[in-house]
Structure formats: structure tokens, C-alpha cells
Amino acid sequence: MITALEKYKRRNARYNLLLKKQQKGINNISSLRLVIFVLVLVILIETYRLKRFYLFEIVILIATVLFCYLAYLQKNTENRKKYTTALCEINETSIKRLRGDWIHFEDTGEDFIDENHNYSYDLDIFGKGSLFQWINGAYTYIGRQRLKEIFTEKPQNEQNIYDRQSAVKELEQKVYFRQKLELKGKIMLNNKQNPKELFLWSKKISNHILKNGVVWFLRSLSMITTITTLTVLVRIIYYIISALFGINKSAPKIFYLIPYYIPVFLIIIQCIILRIKREDRMETLNMAEKYNDDIKTYKNMLRHIEKHKFKSKYIMNLCKTLYDKDGKSASKQIGDFSGICEVIADRRNMIYPILNSIFMIEYHWIISIEKWKIKYGNNFEGWINTIGELEALCSIAVIKHDNPYWSMPNIVTGPSKIIAKSMGHPLLGENRVCNNLKVEAPYSVMLITGSNMSGKSTFMRTVGINIVLAYAGAPVCADQFCCTIMDFYSCMRVSDNLGQSISSFYAEILKIKNIVKASKEGKQVLFLLDEIFKGTNSRDRHTGAMILVKQLSKTGNLGFVSTHDLELAEMENHRNSKVKNYYFSEYYKKNEIYFDYKLKIGISPTRNAIYLMRLAGIEVKEINGIK
């Protein structure tokens, strides 16, 4: 069986080979253009010297056509080279991810960091060294936003998770589809641009321009102006040619039927009409120009999606929205819109004002845009959301593809529980240490003691990030994993906020307040508490922690609490206690400290603070019998 790493290496080698061929083709075309230019120049000089003027004209015509064709061919090859380069980068990124070099990926999701979120800040879901940085393959604004939502929002129900799991399993096998979709988003020029403005604009319709009388009048007027203007222009051109070549024959009588002043008068009328509500038209045209590249990218991404057949009901239901009742695909519908926007985007030239005054191009563009909005404007946002959903699912599918031995979690109903076999932290790579876990009735709170650096916080983050993956429909870093859907809260990483005059202790209180509130509302709560109330004195810390754990350990909740307060471990012996003690420990070898990061049942028998102080150079003498 070919490993994921080997598969990416083969694909990367193939695309690099194609890249060299394409570069060679571009170089050959450039050389050919130079050779043809020199050859044509020599032929033209020779034909002119021999006074073969008809050959001179034929050579110029052929050379022009040939140069245009070669320019088109070179441009086309350069575009294909750009796509191939992007595919090489995608596969190189995949190789780096598997080798553990993903920490340098550019998109860290830092813009999604929210210190007040229930758990994402504590678990490093976004930011440097985050889950998002590790796996994100979404490049459009909507795709990134959708992946963020999947990682931070509670799933609706078990079926919602299973639907995403089925989609992820199918997309895992479609490496070409995933990479091509990623490619099309990657080359998007404005992929960080929020399309909210575009969505609102696509639904906003200017009905006044679409009234039958207005459309008929504008089209009739521009057609009459065009015909009369062209007729007069032909007459003028005929006069010029006659003067140059000494032709005395007069132009056909049809050209004299229209006086010069008629088109001039009509053009003046049209210029006046073009001033009416010009600002409104400019707003529409500027919007079309602003989002031209985005719309073109969306069209190409939708076309790619429509080319593929899917078996997952979840993806099939997504793709159903891409066709109207007549069977016309979304890519074709957006293609019509993209064609209009592309022409509008090319209007920045000197000749445009002249053409606009004759043909009233602006009005025809506006009419076409407004007609498109009436037909498809309300569907546009849904199409782009489908792209975003598939980008997010493809990102999650990479986890399954690159880690085939990770398990798809089993989501169950009933009392809160988490059961895992050989569970590790997905971001630690080969350095991870896996542990078994079983938290369910009659025990609902795992109290974890242990010395400094023994692995308490990492273990809790391991539980948390695997829960996030499970709820996202992704595989988890475990041989087996089973859990229920719970409202997830954590209080692990708190600090002073000088801007809001909030101390770390008060910030911790605010987080815990949210957990208690959710518990009182009768929700099934999953909570992670790391060294709670560490910002106050030992007596208050112990009393407050014991009361909080007791309150949160009621039926329906499930939690993990790490602490250095060994006295808290006595709660396991209380009557009807739902607390179970676990610990991490260290060992010493040749006067050096080592950690095995293995979870054990019971209370930590070791402490290493004094040892670490001495290691730091602090002269700590024997205190109360402690060495």
C-alpha cells in the first residue's frame, strides 16, 4: 500500500516534470517569435526593394496573424504553467505537513483568535502552531470562514456529524478533486476579501431601468444612433479614400439620405441621457469591476465541482442547489454574469467614452446585470456557500487521507461520556504519547494531579482537540473513540487584560461563570479546568475549587480538572462522589528528571518543584524535611 507521503512525492515529481516541459515550451515560442520577426523583416525589405507591393501586404497580413497566434499560445502556456506551479506548491505543502514542518505555513488563522471563545483559545485551534494552520486548505473567504465555524460551533445532532463523516470518507479518496479545488481558490487574487457586499449587491435590484418602455426606448435610440453614425462615417471614409487615390466617382446615394447633423444631434441626446442617475450606474459598474476576478474564480470552482459525481448524500444534497429547475448549472449561470463583469472591467481605455456616447454601452450593461440578478441573484450566495462547505470538508478529508489509521469517532446519545483507546495529540506528530481514557457514570470528573511539566495540561488539550475533531466529522488521533455531544467549555489559559483592567484571576472567574451558567441551564457540559483559582491564596483556592468541582460534577456534566492541590484528591472519598483521581509522574535517572507522560490511576506520589528550582540555580535548602 502506497503511503500518503509517497503519493504526494510522486504527484510532486510529475508536476515538476510537467513544469519543466511547459517552461521549455514558453522558451521555444519566444525563440520562434524572434526568428519569425527577423525572417519577416528580411522578406519585407526584399519585397519592397523589388516593388512587389502586393506581396508586401500579404506578408504583413500573414505575419500579423502568426504573431497573434503565437502570443495567444504563449499566454495560454504561461497560464497552464501558473496552475502547475500551484499544484507543485500544494503537494510540497502536503509533504511538509506529513514531515512535521507545517508550523511555518503562512495561513495560521490568526484572524480567528478569540480569547473569549468557550474553548478555541485554550486549545490552540487558531494561531501559530494551531489546528487551523496544520490542516487548512481553504483559500476563499467563505471556505476559511466555514472551517472556522466547524471547529468552533456545537454540531446540531449526531446525524450532522455522521453526514460530515461520510463526506470526509469520500473526499479522502478524491486527491485530484481536492487539490484542483484548492488550486482554483489558491490562485484567486482577492481570496481574503469578504463577499458580503457582493451578496447584498446580487440581491439588490433596480426595477426602474427594467421597465418595458425604458428598455425599448434605450435600445431603439442606441440602434438608430449607431446606424446613422455608421452611415455618415462610411461616407466620410469614402471621401478620404477618393481624395487619396484620385477617385472621382461619387458615393452610393444611400449614404446621402442621412444628413451629418442627425447623428450629431442623437449623440448629444444620448450624452444627456447618460448623465441621468450616472452615480447609481457607476456604483453598479464599479462593483462589477471590483468583484470580476472573484466571480470568475467562483465560476471555475463551481465548474470543477459539477464535473464530479459524488456518492455521499451530504455532498449530493449540496450539489443539488447548483442546478435550476431547467437543469442549467450554477457555473453557466455565473458564467453569464462573469462575461458581463469581464467586459465592464475592460472599460478603462481612451476609446470607451466615444463608444459609450454612440452605443450607450453603460445602459446595456446595467440592463443585462439587472436581468441576471432577477433570475439568479437570490441563488448566488448559496452557490458560494457550497464552495466554502466543500473547501472545509476537503481540508478535513486531508486528515483522514494523511492519517489512515486514525479512527472515525462513534457519537452516541445518553449520559455524557468519553471513551478512547490510545489517544494522542494530533499536532505532536511522532513525539506524541498516547493514553487510554474512560470517563462515564458513575464518575463524571477526572481529577488529575502531578508534578510540573508532567503532562497534565497537554493531556487535557489532547482530550479537547480530539473532541473538536470528533464534532467536526474528522478522524481523531486514537485507535477508538466514543463520545456524546456536549456543550464544550474550558478554562486553561488566562492572563491579565490591561486594556480592560481585568486581572488574570478575574478573567478566570468570568470563564468559570459561563461554565456554571451553562450547567445551571441544564445543558450537558464538558469542561476542562487547568489549575483553577491559581491567582488567589491557597486556602481560598482549595475551598473554591472543591465547591466548584462538586457543583459541576452533577449528573449530565463531564469534566477534567488538573491541580497541584493534592488535598482536592480527597473528594474521591466523599459520599456519592463522582470524582476519580488520576495522575502523571516523573522519574529520576543519573540526577536528571524524565517524564513518561502516561496517565495512571490514583494520586501523584511525587513533586519536583524544589528540584527544578535547584536546576535553575536557586539555592534551596532543606525545608520541613523536603530536600
DSSP string, 77-110: HHHHHHHHHHHHHHHHHHHHHHHT-GGG-S---G
Share the mean pLDDT of the chain. 86
Using CA atoms, how far apart are residues 235 and 255, in angstroms rounded to an integer? Answer: 6
- C-alpha 625/C-alpha 607 separation (Å) is 13
Give how far Cα 373 sits from Cα of 200, 322, 366, 495, Å.
11, 16, 10, 50
Digit-coded pLDDT (tens) for 55-105:
777 877 888 888 889 989 999 999 899 999 999 999 999 999 999 999 999
Cell numbers linked to 472: 467536526
Alpha-carbon distance 614 to 110, whole Å? 38
Q: Which of 415, 481, 411, 523 is nearest to 158 (CA)?
A: 411
Note the pTM of the prediction, 2 decimals. 0.87
Mean pLDDT of 330-342: 91
Instruction: Give me the pLDDT at residue 501, please.
Output: 42
Please, are residues 144 and 136 in contact by the beta-carbon 8 Å criterion? Answer: yes
Give Cα 191 distance to the centre of its chain: 8
Q: Scanning the structure block, which residue is given the C-alpha cell 449530565?
A: 556
When pLDDT is averaged across residues 556-581 and rounded to a whole number, the result is 87
**What pLDDT, on a 0 to 100 scale, did the predictor assign at position 626?**
44
- Residue 612 has a pLDDT of 58
**Would you say residue 426 has pLDDT above 70?**
yes
Helix count (H) and strand count (E) of the chain? 19, 12
- Which residues are CB-contacts of 357 (< 8 A; sequence separation ≥ 6)? 267, 270, 271, 274
* pLDDT band, very low/low/confident/very high, at 45 (cuts 50, 70, 90): confident
Checking if the pLDDT of 499 tops 60, the result is no
Handedness of CA 140, 141, 146, 148 (dihedral sign): positive
- At residue 627, the pLDDT reads 44
**Alpha carbon of 112 to those of 121, 129, 514: distances in Å?**
10, 14, 21
Is residue 47 classed as helix, strand or coil in its secondary structure? helix
Model pLDDT for residues 577-604, shown as the tens digit of each residue? 889 999 998 877 777 778 889 999 998 8
When mean pLDDT is compared across 118-132, 407-421, 576-590, the lowest value belongs to 576-590
